[in-house]
Amino acid sequence: MAALRSKGFSLKHLSLLIIWVMVLAGALHEEICAQSNSGSKKSEPTVSEPILSVNPCGDPPFESQKWRSIQGKIEAVEDNRALLLVLPKGNRRIHVRLAGISLDRNNISSDQAKAELEELGLHKGVEVLVNPKTWDQDTSKRVVGIVLLKEHRGKDLGLTLLSEGLAHTEEPAPYAMSSYTFCQYRYTEKLAQQK
């Protein structure tokens, strides 16, 4: 260690080098596994299978976007993609819109989507992932984000509506969600349409 420091390396440099080596080792491992499995043909997943089993969207660890997590409980489903969330501190309420999805308001699936949101999330704890630049803990009253159910191991409500054919993707505002997540949304919508 002293020899590295004498050549201008700091602990920070060494840490970054170790992380880089781990990433390369992981990529090499994936390549070796892919080559050994190349003889067996994988079938396309169905909507009920985990989406991440076949991943056309890249590698999420390489996403650079940082997210802010808002914890709360769904008090009401306002419409087919907007929720009223109660925050644990001070019982403050905020309006949360699901990012990356859209529904036709005058469509029967819109009513089904609202019913599905109520069944899955009403009065349950959630985590909302938002862009930290759009969220101020003291003043924000409305946010757009990814809503994950705590008791269902982080089940994404938007992804659920897409997988059931109750919503379609909508290009999110810049930095409202990661490009990886939006790619998963589009892929899920495609699988739901093939049903």
Statement: residue 48 has pLDDT above 50: no
Note the pLDDT tens digit of each residue in 111-160: 888 888 999 899 999 999 998 888 887 788 899 999 999 887 889 999 99
Rounded CA separation 131/122 (Å): 24
Whether 35 and 70 map to the same domain: the answer is no
CA distance 100 to 183: 10
CB 100 within 8 A of CB 185: yes
Look at residue 45 and tell me if it is in a domain: no
Number of domains within the chain: 2
Contact 99, 128 (CB under 8 A): no
Average of pLDDT values for 95-111? 80
Cα dihedral 13, 17, 20, 22 sign:
negative
Instruction: Give the pLDDT score at 145.
Output: 92
Q: What is the pLDDT of residue 179?
A: 84
Mean pLDDT across 65-79: 87
* Per-residue model confidence (pLDDT) at position 72: 94
Is residue 47 domain-resident?
no
What's the pLDDT tens digit per position in 162-193?
999 888 999 998 888 888 889 999 999 999 98
Domain of 147 in residue numbering reads as 60-193
**Which whole number is the average pLDDT over 37-56?**
49
Backbone angles phi, psi at 146, to 5 degrees: -95, 125
Quick one: pLDDT at residue 135? 85
In a domain, 92, yes or no: yes
55 within a domain of the structure (yes/no) = no
Q: Are residues 76 and 121 in the same domain?
A: yes
Q: Both 29 and 66 in a single domain?
A: no
